[in-house]
Amino acid sequence: MMQRPHSSRGIEGIPAAGIPLLQVTELKTYFHTRDAVLRAVDGVSFSIDSGEVVGLVGESGSGKSMTGFSLLGLVDPPGRIEGGSIRLRGRELVGLTAGEWRSIRGREIAMVFQDPMATLNPLLTIGEQIRLAINAHERVGRQAARDRGIEVLNRVGIPEASRRLDAWPHQLSGGMRQRVAIAIALLHRPALIVADEPTTALDVSIQAQILAEVQTLVRELGTALLWISHDLATVSALASRLLVMYAGRIVEEGPCATVLREPRHPYTRGLLMSMPQFARPGEQLAQIPGAPPALSALPQGCAFAPRCQQASAQCQAAAPERQAQPSDLNSTVSRTGVRAWRCYHPLG
């Protein structure tokens, strides 16, 4: 059934050598409100290779969801993609028509939201929603859709799948509903799934189960995953690479283990130190003082400076540019494994 080729294949099935699956460059997504222009995503660049699991982490309001929505053409007014580029296997997505986005959404890139009811219609049975989701991109008959439904529900660990097809969303638990939303995201075997805090609303034990299942699924299917969460512990359980976001910018990126072991940005270290799992023995758990700045009142320099113990006059004066580890500057191999940060005083 689910055997559409994907991963590193080019448009005509030719491997697109050297081109990442997704390349986001200087993406800017702004909100135009009556009083101000809010730069929710302000010059964000990253890439994702086929099959790669990348974590996007940061406090609430830092622009994670808007980054995710931008990748699916789901930014609605007063928001707008203002600049930059989103390339999927080399194809530019910024500027596509609504119809062109629809042909990509669900088929090439799919999204799982924090609230599964953003995906599920309360008035349709699970089976009917799955059939509609299939028919958005393919013509299949009722029985074939049912068979495919059973297959994907089995895949995401839903017992008695054929009976569940006739259930309505309200008859399922929150965890089961989220599994159905994940199953729907997997229907067309997209090359990339953007998962925006998909387990945040669930009980911790269910969170852990779903996390483990998603990990197995993406490995089996070769799907790339952008896992968005405010919770560094959840993200780092899954991702091989981390992007840390603050006030609309990526302030640190690198291989997950390296970032956890040697954070360069004081913000990343603050996130780490506030988590029991990552605190060094004897080190006191500490919350980052203060709160993220409102986008309508960003400081002139580094947006983190008002909360930062290392901040100097330089930090107050102008926001630091992105700096890459010298060994990564000319490296093509570590293109997506690059280690970079935006800080004048990176930690050693």
How near is the Cβ of 151 to ligand ADP at its closest, in Å?
A: 32
50 lies in the binding site for ligand ADP (CB under 6 A):
no
Distance CA 269, CA 279 (A): 10
- C-beta closer to ligand ADP: residue 156 or 303: 303
249 lies in the binding site for ligand ADP (CB under 6 A):
no
198 lies in the binding site for ligand ADP (CB under 6 A):
no
How near is the Cβ of 296 to ligand ADP at its closest, in Å?
A: 7
How near is the Cβ of 225 to ligand ADP at its closest, in Å?
A: 17
**Of 14-22, 55-63, 109-117, 119-127, which part binds ligand ADP (CB under 6 A)?**
55-63
- C-beta closer to ligand ADP: residue 6 or 249: 249
**Of 54-62, 105-113, 310-318, 333-341, which part binds ligand ADP (CB under 6 A)?**
54-62
User: Two tokens at 335?
Assistant: 């293109």
HEC sequence for the chain: CCCCCCCCECCCCCECCCCCCEEEEEEEEEEECCCCEEEEEEEEEEEECCCCEEEEECCCCCCHHHHHHHHCCCCCCCEEEEEEEEEECCEECCCCCHHHHHHHECCCEEEECCCHHHCCCCCCCHHHHHHHHHHCCCCCCHHHHHHHHHHHHHHCCCCCHHHHCCCCHHHCCHHHHHHHHHHHHHCCCCCEEEEECCCCCCCHHHHHHHHHHHHHHHHHHCCEEEEEECCHHHHHHHCCEEEEEECCEEEEEEEHHHHHHCCCCHHHHHHHHCCCCCCCCCCCCCCCCCCCCCHHHCCCCCCCHHHCCCCCHHHHHCCCCCEECHHHCCCCCCHHHCCEECCCCCCC
- C-beta closer to ligand ADP: residue 80 or 137: 80
Q: Are 137 and 211 a contacting pair, CB within 8 Å?
A: no
- Tell me the per-residue interface mask from 252 to 291 with ligand ADP, x by CB under 6 A, - otherwise: ----------------------------------------
Distance CA 126, CA 137 (A): 18
61 lies in the binding site for ligand ADP (CB under 6 A):
yes
How near is the Cβ of 239 to Mg ion at its closest, in Å?
A: 17
CA geometry: angle 196, 341, 25, nearest 5 deg: 60
How near is the Cβ of 33 to ligand ADP at its closest, in Å?
A: 6
Q: Are 110 and 196 a contacting pair, CB within 8 Å?
A: no
**Binds 121, which of ligand ADP, Mg ion, none (CB < 5 to 8 A, cut-off by type)?**
none
Which of positions 290-309 make contact with ligand ADP (CB under 6 A)? 295
Residues binding ligand ADP: what is the number (CB under 6 A)?
14
36 lies in the binding site for ligand ADP (CB under 6 A):
no
- C-beta closer to ligand ADP: residue 108 or 197: 197
121 lies in the binding site for ligand ADP (CB under 6 A):
no
Paired sense of beta strands 109-112 and 192-196, if any: parallel
- C-beta closer to ligand ADP: residue 65 or 236: 65
How near is the Cβ of 68 to ligand ADP at its closest, in Å?
A: 8
**Binds 61, which of ligand ADP, Mg ion, none (CB < 5 to 8 A, cut-off by type)?**
ligand ADP
40 lies in the binding site for ligand ADP (CB under 6 A):
yes
User: Two tokens at 96?
Assistant: 């596509």
- C-beta closer to Mg ion: residue 154 or 200: 200
- C-beta closer to Mg ion: residue 150 or 225: 225
62 lies in the binding site for ligand ADP (CB under 6 A):
yes
Query: Which residues in this chain contact ligand ADP in the complex, by CB under 6 A?
Result: 31, 33, 38, 40, 58, 60-66, 78, 295
